[in-house]
Structure 1
């Protein structure tokens, strides 16, 4: 019986691909807001379909409309016959997963913390951001763990205030989201699956959210830092290049910058973009210094248990892609470039005794303290806002009653009109503030308390109870290694 099972496992392994090509891209497909949206996404699909060798699993972000999704599906169907558009929130999460192989299972996991409805002009809360999950069997007819890839595609909350010299008021939300996707990837790796995490994480290497993904993701690794371990941790503008300013070409080839590159036309000034629309193209020297370019898009992967499958996956190559222009419009295909990687299946010389559970990097005590401090500060902020919102609610109720009473003694019709207008406006505004204070903030505070509990329990599980623990002085990098702080 054991021999038969071993033979079956060997046959399944032989049916697995030797290479796995992955691509992640933020398409910038906001309906009514993104310039040349449909034409750009159509060209993105053509570029994906014409790649050689073609990608086999693709994660897209900001593909908001069914129209664009169906267009991409039609064009890429030959190489990526399977796909899933993920529904979420009021306007949709904008997440898509395309695959060469059938998607056995899928789910959309909403983030408990995801912006505020009052910030309607930003839209993060309304789109219902979360993690698009897909279970894909890439080869073999058996039910062995080695042929399963679990894909997690996401788009974390944007910082917004980062470039204005202000505090990032959404740092707590993004950190909580990083914690959630890290949990999902860790659980998948413990099941023995090959784990792939793609998306626009809106974080730079070395940030708090990045450390959470690398430290709590069960050993997942950032493919770029596997190949380029000395790459920049941020833009030169933010000190990520340690005072040096790399050229645009070096930013792409070495540092993996996918956003705000000088080579991306959507970073250009409005005047230059208008000139481009008129057919006058600005030449950009790729050797020029690039202060603002940064890496926000990632592919993380976590290998399945080699002792159970007899093989492992390694990063063969990684690159920034989709840097070409639209052939007619001459603009960049998106305001982001893609990140692309190839994983290769290898059979180790010696049987591995590694276990995903035993090799999980942990976070240093200082990182746990930073997260808990962030949560505490944000809870205090939300309680202040809730108090203000409820004060406005009761004030509007008093104003409405006062206006209705005053109408009885109104000397003129126009005065009655003004009083009615004030009471109606005040009542509407007050109801909105009441809904925010009584319902939304209350819900958010409960989610924050849950997040805090999880962090505290994880801190205890890592043996870091009370003050400085053994985790101090240890940094978890994106390649899954632990190294001492200098």
Structure 2
């Protein structure tokens, strides 16, 4: 519904907040039809039927693309912030109809490896981007993130990285909830609703998934947002393995003490193809949520045993993943150090061979092999002593934090049970 400024001052009135999130797949030189799609996304935000209050974008890897978008949509979304981080930037940005008053970026402790150039997550410096804004007199904390991708479903080498990222996201969100704002978290979480990372963020982050909360959804869909059959960038091979696609893009919310929130609609409002083109807006589908925000006079929210148990289960599962991750990291460190020692021995053998009477051609060939071996030796030493040590510390730190939070939840569960028994006895 439309609410005038006069109506918004009436604290008995509900207002609708319209939100959109989209991974734009904007990798320069790699993403197909990137420039045309970025322009089409901007046009859709300007001329589409919806006037959004907040828009969250991921994989805007080019600053030029961000500035183009910000300039193009300025009349409808005049306030924006691009979160620069890492080597090529975090890729995330937030657009708003109301002024952005505060910004903060938390870089994930773990985010892949620098030598995995084909993946590139480490170079992006991903994390959680947070802004604050006031819309219709209601204070909002708006946040977006982009978790590490799952490149191999059968052998996911980054599973413990996503544990760390999901836990750090939920921790930051819990801190943000203390400021009394209505909170919205949206983005590409690279996990389905059956994954531990989803449960960590949803349950331990005390968040509501707008898709499951919504009475209105996209017809004929179960909310899938990536590798969907209608998307032009989905390969035939992918569809054979997974005909429906995956739901990995979400909009979550958390109500405040002064305002309750309910999802009116959560759907995918844009057409499958860019107008007058044969390709989609992105390899992800945009997700829209219309949230009805209503003032309340007092906070009557209390955690139930079921909610605490869901949080506990999410933490326990994540702790188990961390334990497996620590074992995997330890094995990898030993392997790289062993390879470094082996190459060191080979270099010593090479130096000994140089004292022999060798032909010029053989000396050149051995010299080239020695240079390659030295480069590999430096790589193995860095991996075995620096990067895997950092990875181990990141997973270990998260596991210790999980243990602390699990102890708190155990006590909280006992207190809730004790209150229930006391109330039962009084009755």
With the length of structure 2 as denominator, give the TM-score of the two structures: 0.88
Q: For residues 190 and 399 of structure 1, what CA distance do their matches in structure 2 show?
A: 59
**Within the alignment, does 1:448 sit opposite 2:406 as a pair?**
no
Q: For residues 190 and 149 of structure 2, what CA distance do their matches in structure 1 show?
A: 6
Cα distance, 1:357 vs. partner? Answer: 7.6
Cα distance, 1:359 vs. partner? Answer: 9.8
Q: Of residues 162, 187, 198 in structure 1, which corresponds to 2:175?
A: 187
Whether contact under 8 Å (1:216, 1:360) holds in the other structure is no
Q: For residues 359 and 313 of structure 1, what CA distance do their matches in structure 2 show?
A: 22
RMSD of equivalent CA atoms: 2.8
Cα distance, 1:175 vs. partner? Answer: 2.2
Cα distance, 1:260 vs. partner? Answer: 1.4
Correspondence list, 1:80-159, <5 A: 80-140=77-137, 147-159=138-150
Look up the match of 1:202. 190
Cα distance, 1:464 vs. partner? Answer: 7.1
Change (3 A) 1:50 1:374: same
Aligned residues: 405
Change (3 A) 1:327 1:12: closer
Whether contact under 8 Å (1:24, 1:338) holds in the other structure is yes
Whether contact under 8 Å (1:410, 1:416) holds in the other structure is no
Whether contact under 8 Å (2:85, 2:125) holds in the other structure is yes
Greater CA drift, 51-60 or 325-334: 325-334
Q: For residues 204 and 157 of structure 2, what CA distance do their matches in structure 1 show?
A: 23
Cα distance, 1:138 vs. partner? Answer: 1.9
Whether contact under 8 Å (1:215, 1:363) holds in the other structure is no
- CA offsets per residue over residues 108-147 of structure 1, 9 Å max, x none? 211112112232211111111111111112244xxxxxx3
1:462 aligns to what SS in structure 2? Answer: helix
Change (3 A) 1:83 1:353: closer
Look up the match of 2:418. none
Change (3 A) 1:157 1:470: farther
Cα distance, 1:13 vs. partner? Answer: 6.7
With the length of structure 1 as denominator, give the TM-score of the two structures: 0.78
- CA offsets per residue over residues 280-303 of structure 1, 9 Å max, x none? xxxxxxxxxx83322110000001
Cα distance, 1:440 vs. partner? Answer: 0.9
Q: Of residues 353, 359, 362 in structure 1, which corresponds to 2:308?
A: 362
Cα distance, 1:16 vs. partner? Answer: 9.8
Greater CA drift, 314-323 or 440-449: 314-323
Q: Of residues 244, 262, 283 in structure 2, which corresponds to 1:292?
A: 244
Correspondence list, 1:308-327, <5 A: 311-327=259-275
Cα distance, 1:15 vs. partner? Answer: 12
2:369 aligns to what SS in structure 1? Answer: helix
Look up the match of 2:379. 432
Q: For residues 403 and 431 of structure 1, what CA distance do their matches in structure 2 show?
A: 17
Q: For residues 214 and 243 of structure 2, what CA distance do their matches in structure 1 show?
A: 23
In the alignment, structure 1 segments of 5+ residues that lack a partner are: 1-9, 141-146, 232-247, 271-289, 472-486
Q: For residues 156 and 44 of structure 2, what CA distance do their matches in structure 1 show?
A: 35
Cα distance, 1:315 vs. partner? Answer: 1.5
